[in-house]
Structure 1
């Protein structure tokens, strides 16, 4: 049985945020999407335990705190490290990929150029996490 997810999208590009919203709507998913435009904003949201997301979708290339730096902060925090973090990026840099998995990322997804491919990938990711047994604290 699938559940509705509480998703935190950390993305600085307004077009990418709109694309994610449009995809969730197109797929007729009833997930709740919260946005943070950078890592600092996301950390502020995560200070409130009642607002912990089921999953975090994280861009790597962001101002202030990079995605990798943010991932390190989350995975070093006992209160937050249980939250699955999925990287959504245009970077196919193998160094980034290996570093993210070394830190403890739950998935690394390359953003496809074609919208149909994007919808398919996001649909698959959200479908998996909506049926996965997520730990609630």
Structure 2
């Protein structure tokens, strides 16, 4: 994402890796209410996340995400494995990854940071609190933090 002169800011490309339809719906609602223009791409398991990031098969035209929201408890390839493969890839490791999961287990938190997650958020149970949490990190990551441009990441 970059802004210059009179050009409108680019839309943020966000990849949500989440298998729970209710959490996908709440995340979409939170982003819709937010002020940041974004394209939210959703995949429902770890294998599809890796295919999206590699631009394989049905995802050959997928954009490079500016930010990844990653659940840990996924079917097929779990979130920790996705995070590990992502951070091992020199072409992808600079993409910020926020683990957004229901797990409050200390070992999951420690392991996520050991695998170089940029943040670990536990999903609030209350839908309004969930939306507030998503909007808060959206504002932080896209209004406060400076992310590398596509040119810088190549």
What are structure 2's unaligned runs of at least 5 residues?
4-8, 56-60
Could you list the runs of 4 or more consecutive aligned residues of structure 1 that deviate by over 4 angstroms after TM superposition?
none
Matched residue, 2:94: 82
Query: Which of residues 106, 118, 125 is equivalent to 2:130?
Result: 118
After superposition, where does 1:50-65 map in structure 2 within 5 Å?
A: 51-65=63-77
Alignment of 1:1-137 (within 5 A): 4-48=11-55, 51-131=63-143, 132-135=145-148, 136=150, 137=153
Tell me how many residue pairs correspond in the alignment.
Answer: 137
| Contact 2:15/2:40 (<8 A) preserved | yes
More displaced 10-residue stretch of structure 1: 81-90 or 115-124: 115-124
Q: TM-score, normalised by structure 1?
A: 0.92
3-state SS, counterpart of residue 109 of structure 1: strand
In the TM superposition, what is the alpha-carbon distance from 1:56 to its structure 2 partner? 0.2
Give the drift of 1:29: 3.8
RMSD, matched Cα:
1.8
Q: Which ranges of structure 1 fall in alignment gaps of 5 or more residues?
A: none
Distance 1:126 1:4 in 2: 13
CA positional deviation for 1:26: 2.6
